[in-house]
């Protein structure tokens, strides 16, 4: 149910923030800091004991293993991450809904049951897991940044399928994380919860729309989080905060029952996927979810069990240095060349490659996302009377321009026809790479920027998502992986003549000092339904970078 509030929207939002903040115990509060880089504050602030710091520095598979072995208890692990998440919230404003008390009660029950039976609950036994705000969880709101959706807690029967799967895998859910309004902005801010910053440089964005997850995970306030991606919403924040992540093809991981800012927009399908500082954690989550056979609970899922894949000894990667629309800023170009050098040193071939007409993909994406004439978002905004966030100005303009003559279904059909034709051309373009690989195969994977930015300054993303969204249209599998950090001594601005207004804005704003210390990450893309291969090749790339 959506409630139509009579209270001014500013008061509703302020009350939500106050209620959230009141759930952080006084003894977990930290002194304010003016530092830009706060990545080490959880280790030094005094809130966590030395043992709790040690626990929160472990990755998800290790934590599960130690709990199953009886070396750690879920209660102690959950308490440690609740504390660290509380610190992360105070540093970056990454949380929306806090349910630490319920999580600790659940963890205690898990420990008692395990002591009694000796049988683990599942592959995520006792593990704290954070969720993006749009997953329904019993007893808390799912605002997705809309003021009108505040104060409407979900009943148990409304929980998202992914929420249920996490519980069935043995996970302890303990918080939800911030998103931009409608989850349709590449930075994370809204009128309910405000702006989420990047813990490596708080002058920068944590990305969007899973930006609360990325900030929390970077600070190790959670060992494993679940995000969603419809145009880059897992990969962009993961890249901004130096995380591993997986954007699957639609049909692998259950999506049914999650809340959308554009409900019914299914021409480009939103997917769910994992985010973490640990690649092993990403694989653990993927195997765990597929192991629950989601095709028996979500009618859109494909009956594909998790597969072990073998890859050839000598591989060939495509490398996108520039998509022809917006040239990456210097740190990203440096990371691309580092990856190329590392892979070549490991005995693989890397071929510079241009993707198929990303400007066409960009046009199709915008036509789909605004295909209702901006009506849905306008309706939800008007329910509370809140103002449009800056990042949704295009939706506002489209609604105002078309509200008397809304788009017709035939226009949607035309765009879907164009999408399918585009996907065919992308496939043919990829397959034609067998002519240059020297292996007799097309590219085993493509390595690409995630965005033109390392992490953009606050409110300076400037709307270029073509590096990610073209792989949403085509439904290809993709990962992110960290490479380095911005270093002003080597990442100074170079002369570049902009080819369009968006590129000019991004390059005019770029200043290595402003984004100093921000993570620099890349994207690895495989073809449809190749999640296992994507993870295996990401592991190979990460090993090559480490050895370089």
Pairwise CA distance, residues 213 & 276, whole Å: 9
Pairwise CA distance, residues 490 & 333, whole Å: 11
The one catalytic residue in 209, 249, 469, 477 is: 209
The one catalytic residue in 233, 270, 276, 448 is: 233
Pairwise CA distance, residues 276 & 64, whole Å: 15
What is the distance, to the nearest Å, from the Cα of residue 33 to the centroid of all Cα atoms in its chain? 27
Burial of 489 (0-12, 13-18, 19+ CB in 10 A): exposed
**Is residue 160 flagged as an active site residue?**
no
CA-wise closest residue to 483 among 535, 530, 518: 518
Mode of pairing for the β-strands spanning 128-132 and 95-98: unpaired
3-state secondary structure 114-148: HHHHCCCCCCCCCCEEEEECCCCCECCCCCCCCHH
Starting at the edge strand found earlier in the chain, the sheet holding 478-485 runs 95-98, 172-177, 128-132, 225-229, 271-276, 244-247, 478-485, 519-525, 445-448, 316-319, 349-352
Q: Up-side HSE of residue 422: CA atoms within 13 Å toward CB?
A: 24
**Is residue 203 flagged as an active site residue?**
no
The one catalytic residue in 83, 132, 203, 327 is: 132
Contact assessment for residue 106 and residue 82, using Cβ atoms and an 8 Å cutoff? no
Contact assessment for residue 58 and residue 66, using Cβ atoms and an 8 Å cutoff? yes
What is the distance, to the nearest Å, from the Cα of residue 319 to the centroid of all Cα atoms in its chain? 22
Look at residue 251 and give its three-state secondary structure: coil
Contact assessment for residue 534 and residue 246, using Cβ atoms and an 8 Å cutoff? yes
**Is residue 493 flagged as an active site residue?**
no
Q: Which residue has the tokens 């894949």?
A: 309
Phi-psi region for residue 341, left (φ > 0), alpha (ψ -120 to 50) or beta?
A: alpha
Pairwise CA distance, residues 65 & 72, whole Å: 9
Binding-site members are 183, 209, 230-233
Binding-site members for substrate are 183, 209, 230-233
Pairwise CA distance, residues 223 & 262, whole Å: 29
Whether omega for the bond prior to residue 520 falls within 30 degrees of 0, making it cis, is no
Pairwise CA distance, residues 362 & 465, whole Å: 8
Contact assessment for residue 207 and residue 196, using Cβ atoms and an 8 Å cutoff? no
Which amino acids are annotated catalytic? 132, 209, 233
């Amino acid at each position: 149910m959506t409630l139509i509030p009579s209270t001014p929207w500013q008061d509703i939002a302020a009350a939500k923030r106050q209620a959230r903040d009141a759930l952080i115990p006084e003894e977990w509060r930290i002194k304010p800091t003016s530092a830009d880089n706060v990545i080490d504050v959880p280790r030094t602030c005094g809130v966590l004991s030395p043992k709790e710091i040690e626990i929160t520095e472990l990755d998800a598979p290790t934590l599960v293993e130690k709990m199953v072995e009886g070396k750690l208890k879920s209660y102690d692990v959950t308490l440690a991450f609740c504390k660290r998440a509380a610190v992360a919230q105070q540093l970056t404003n990454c949380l929306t809904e806090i349910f630490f008390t319920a999580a600790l009660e659940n963890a205690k029950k898990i420990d008692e049951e395990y002591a009694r039976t000796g049988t683990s609950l599942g592959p995520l036994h006792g593990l704290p897991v954070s969720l993006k705000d749009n997953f329904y969880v019993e007893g808390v709101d799912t605002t997705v940044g809309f003021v009108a959706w505040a104060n409407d807690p979900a009943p148990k029967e409304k929980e998202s399928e992914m929420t249920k799967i996490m519980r069935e895998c043995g996970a302890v859910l303990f918080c939800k994380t911030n998103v931009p309004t409608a989850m349709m902005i590449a930075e994370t801010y809204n009128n309910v919860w405000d702006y989420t910053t990047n813990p490596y440089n708080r002058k920068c964005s944590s990305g969007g729309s899973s930006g609360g997850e990325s900030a929390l995970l970077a600070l190790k306030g959670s060992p494993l989080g679940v995000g969603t991606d419809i145009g880059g919403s897992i990969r962009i924040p993961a890249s901004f905060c130096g995380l591993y992540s997986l954007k699957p093809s639609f049909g692998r991981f259950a999506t049914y029952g999650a809340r959308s800012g554009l409900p019914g927009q299914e021409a480009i399908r939103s997917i769910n996927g994992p985010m973490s500082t640990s690649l092993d954690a990403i694989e653990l989550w993927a195997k765990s979810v597929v192991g629950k056979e989601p095709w028996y609970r979500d009618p859109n899922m494909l009956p594909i069990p998790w597969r072990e894949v073998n890859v050839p000894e000598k591989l060939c990667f495509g490398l996108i240095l520039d998509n022809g629309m917006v040239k990456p800023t210097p740190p990203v170009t440096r990371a691309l060349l580092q990856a190329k050098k590392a892979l070549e040193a490991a005995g693989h071939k890397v071929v510079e490659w241009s993707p198929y007409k990303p400007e066409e993909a960009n046009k199709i994406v915008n036509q789909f996302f605004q295909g209702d004439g901006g009506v849905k978002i306008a309706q939800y905004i008007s329910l509370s009377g809140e103002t449009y966030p800056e990042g949704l100005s295009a939706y506002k303009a489209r609604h105002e321009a078309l509200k008397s003559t809304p788009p017709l279904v035939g226009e949607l059909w035309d765009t879907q026809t164009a999408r399918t034709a585009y996907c065919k051309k992308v496939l043919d373009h990829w397959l034609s790479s067998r002519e240059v690989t020297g292996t007799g195969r097309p590219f085993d994977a493509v390595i690409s920027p995630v965005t033109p930015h390392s992490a953009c300054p606050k409110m300076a993303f400037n709307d270029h998502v073509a590096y990610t969204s073209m792989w949403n249209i085509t439904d290809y599998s993709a990962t992110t992986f960290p490479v380095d950090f911005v270093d002003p001594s080597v990442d100074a601005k170079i002369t570049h003549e902009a080819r369009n207004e968006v590129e000019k804005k991004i390059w005019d704003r770029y200043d290595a000092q402003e984004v100093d210390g921000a993570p620099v990450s890349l994207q690895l893309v495989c073809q449809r339904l190749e999640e296992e291969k994507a993870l295996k090749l990401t592991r190979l790339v990460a090993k090559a970078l480490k050895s370089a």
